[in-house]
């Protein structure tokens, strides 16, 4: 029967419905994606580990499971890529460093357990920057090989952008979901800190580390994230709470036209002229639905506070790499660990206090809007030799632990994507995703008229 032309580029929700009804079988879908991977991987270099036979074996088992008549999971048969800092039992997890080459975990990370329970088809492990930090990986941007796909979830963003998988797992400690999604022209969703457990995920800075997802649209991100959210007793950042209905929230649509707060942030001058113009034009098009907010002065210190937290905790979490493999670390990682080791404890502890201070100010903004509108990155993806890009438009929101969503709304003059970022109130993830869907539809209507 085969897979219809164009179906591989459909959203995850469309694919899930076809798989659930039997209009599409897992084996057919898996073979189609494997063919896409074979055609593009030599140029994109998104995969750290991939075994086609392992994919085929899973697909056959999933088809047999559905044929048995038993209830299927929320992600039944959907191919998913997993960032190579997330433990997978029996599958190499090298954390982007030669120090861990050949490392094969004995157990799955909590998120992988949830993926399997939901019936996802785990395609393989995607390339990450060294220890999920800033040293560039081998992955290229699928839209332009000369440009960076971002970091550190480079392989995950690139795999979705190249149509190799409909969904991919990433993580963010500064901007490693939002920024790569912007550079690769896909949707990236970083949920509220603590929404998704991190057991079995490489810890870099536990006060900041957040598991996020890549998809082709907000519905796919909602479907994927909803299957992963939940309390994990082994991750103190999570807590027992009613399970969110993210997908149904998005599909229900906004009950009223949402309001947006245009926040330039104290780092506005770091945005390219094209990005500033694109954001301003969108705000103008939104008219009365969008108002401008100037953040209070303390926000100018937020990124420095986030960096202090990240470097101090990174030095602690990566101590064993420093002790037993220092000569194999990149200069960027060596410098980061040295800076973390030199930070006074008082500065680190004081930086942690900024989370509550900043969120107190944000609450006043969220009383007036559904989401904050701001750049997802300074502009289009830079050339690869310039690094993985600047996370300054992301780190503030990672520090504040708010949910953030990249939408591929803009195109630079060189034809490469620029992403808008929506930020929501902590815990209001469904509303943020729903607002993102509304904004995508608004922009599409505006362009048609």
pLDDT band per the 50, 70, 90 thresholds, residue 351: very high
Same domain, 160 and 308: no
Residue 436 counted as domain residue: no
> Integer distance in angstroms from the first to the last C-alpha of the chain?
39
Nearest-angstrom CA–CA distance, 210 and 405: 13
Is the same domain home to 203 and 274?
no
Q: Which two tokens stand for residue 420?
A: 């808008």
Identify whether residues 164 and 179 lie together within a single domain.
yes
Closest CA to 377 of 262, 272, 221: 272
Q: Which of 144, 153, 176, 207 is catalytic?
A: 176
Question: Tokens in use for 259?
Answer: 């309001």
Q: Is residue 272 part of a domain?
A: yes
Q: What share of the chain is helix, strand, coil (3-state, %, to 5)?
A: 45, 15, 40
**152 given a catalytic annotation:** yes
pLDDT reading at 3 higher than 90: no
How much is the pLDDT for 428? 98
Beta sheet of 210-215, edge-to-edge order = 47-50, 121-126, 79-83, 167-172, 210-215, 187-190, 404-411, 417-423, 371-375, 260-263, 290-293
Which one is catalytic: 83, 137, 190, 207? 83
User: Do residues 155 and 259 share a domain?
Assistant: no
Q: Is 449 a catalytic residue?
A: no
The answer to the question of residue 319 being in a domain is yes
Q: Return the pLDDT at 2.
A: 74
Give the separation between CA 5 and CA 95, rounded to whole angstroms.
35
Q: What's the pLDDT at 247?
A: 98
Question: CATH number of the domain that 152 lies in?
Answer: 3.90.1300.10
Report if residue 386 sits inside a domain: yes
Q: Which of 137, 144, 152, 156 is catalytic?
A: 152
Digit-coded pLDDT (tens) for 237-251? 999 999 999 999 999
Do 349 and 305 form a contact (C-beta atoms < 8 A)?
no
Average of pLDDT values for 362-388?
97
pLDDT in tens, 152-191: 999 999 999 999 999 999 999 999 999 999 999 999 999 9
Does 176 qualify as catalytic in the annotation?
Answer: yes
Look at the chain and report how many structural domains it folds into.
Answer: 3
Render pLDDT for 40-90 as a digit per residue (tens, 0 to 9).
999 999 999 999 999 999 999 999 999 999 999 999 999 999 999 999 999
Residues 114, 183, single domain; the answer is: yes
Tell me whether residue 146 is in a domain: yes
Residues 112 and 238 in one domain: yes
Question: Range of 316's domain?
Answer: 303-349
pLDDT in tens, 206-239: 999 999 999 999 999 999 999 999 999 999 999 9
Beta bridge partners of 293: 263
Q: Classify residue 47: in a domain, yes or no.
A: yes
220 close to 250: Cβ distance less than 8 angstroms: no
In a domain, 435, yes or no: no
For residues 197 and 279, state if they share a domain: no
Question: Do 61 and 206 share a structural domain?
Answer: yes
211 and 344 in a common domain: no
Q: Are residues 155 and 262 in the same domain?
A: no
Across all residues in the chain, what is the average pLDDT? Answer: 97
When pLDDT is averaged across residues 393-411 and rounded to a whole number, the result is 98
- Asked if residue 140 has pLDDT above 70, the reply is yes
245 shares its domain with 380: no
What is the predicted pLDDT for the residue at 5? 74
Task: Point out the domain boundary residue: 314, 349, 384.
Answer: 349
Is 437 a member of any domain?
A: no
The DSSP-derived string for 300-320 is GGHHHHHHHHHHHHHHHHTHH
Q: Is the pLDDT of residue 1 over 60?
A: no
Q: What is the pLDDT of residues 260-280, one digit of tens each?
A: 999 999 999 999 999 999 999
Based on the fold, state whether residues 240 and 345 are members of the same structural domain.
no
DSSP per residue, 391-417 = -HHHHHHHHHT--EEEEEEEE-TTS-E
């Amino acid at each position: 029967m085969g897979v219809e032309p164009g179906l591989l580029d459909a959203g995850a929700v469309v694919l899930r419905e076809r798989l659930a009804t039997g209009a599409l079988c897992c084996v057919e879908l898996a073979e189609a994606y494997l063919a896409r991977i074979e055609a593009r991987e030599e140029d994109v270099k998104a995969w750290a580990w991939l075994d086609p036979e392992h994919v085929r074996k899973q697909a056959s088992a999933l088809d047999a499971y559905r044929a048995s008549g038993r209830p299927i999971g929320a992600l039944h048969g959907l191919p998913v890529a997993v960032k190579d800092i997330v433990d997978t039992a029996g599958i190499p997890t090298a954390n982007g460093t030669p120090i861990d080459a050949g490392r094969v975990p004995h157990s799955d990370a909590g998120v992988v357990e949830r993926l399997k329970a939901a019936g996802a088809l785990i395609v393989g492990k995607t390339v990450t920057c060294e220890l999920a930090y800033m040293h560039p990986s081998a992955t290229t941007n699928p839209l332009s090989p000369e440009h960076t796909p971002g970091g550190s979830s480079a392989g995950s963003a690139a795999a979705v952008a190249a149509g190799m998988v409909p969904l991919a797992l990433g993580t963010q400690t500064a901007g490693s979901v939002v920024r790569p999604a912007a550079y690769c022209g896909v949707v990236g969703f970083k949920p509220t800190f603590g929404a998704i457990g991190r057991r079995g995920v490489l810890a870099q800075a536990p006060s900041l580390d957040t598991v996020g997802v890549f998809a082709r649209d907000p519905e796919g991100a909602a479907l994927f994230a909803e299957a992963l959210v939940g309390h994990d007793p082994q991750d103190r950042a999570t807590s027992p709470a009613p399970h969110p209905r993210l997908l149904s929230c998005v599909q229900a649509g906004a009950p009223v036209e949402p309001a947006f707060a245009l926040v330039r942030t104290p780092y506005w001058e770091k945005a390219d002229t094209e990005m500033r113009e694109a954001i301003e034009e969108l705000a103008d098009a939104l008219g009365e639905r969008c108002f401008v907010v100037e953040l209070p002065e303390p926000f100018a210190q937020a990124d420095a506070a986030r960096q202090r937290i990240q470097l101090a905790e990174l030095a602690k979490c990566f101590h064993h790499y420093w002790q037993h493999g220092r000569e194999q670390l990149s200069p960027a990682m060596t410098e980061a660990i040295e800076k973390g080791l030199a930070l006074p404890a008082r500065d680190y502890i004081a930086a942690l206090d900024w989370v509550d201070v900043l969120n107190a100010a944000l609450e006043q903004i969220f009383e007036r809007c559904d989401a904050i509108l701001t750049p997802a990155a300074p502009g289009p993806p830079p050339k690869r030799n310039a690094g993985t890009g600047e996370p300054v438009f992301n780190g503030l929101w990672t520090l504040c632990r708010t949910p953030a969503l990249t939408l591929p709304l803009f195109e630079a003059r060189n034809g490469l994507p620029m992403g808008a970022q929506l930020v929501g109130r902590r815990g209001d993830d469904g509303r943020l995703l729903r607002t993102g869907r509304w904004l995508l539809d608004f922009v599409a209507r505006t362009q048609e008229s």
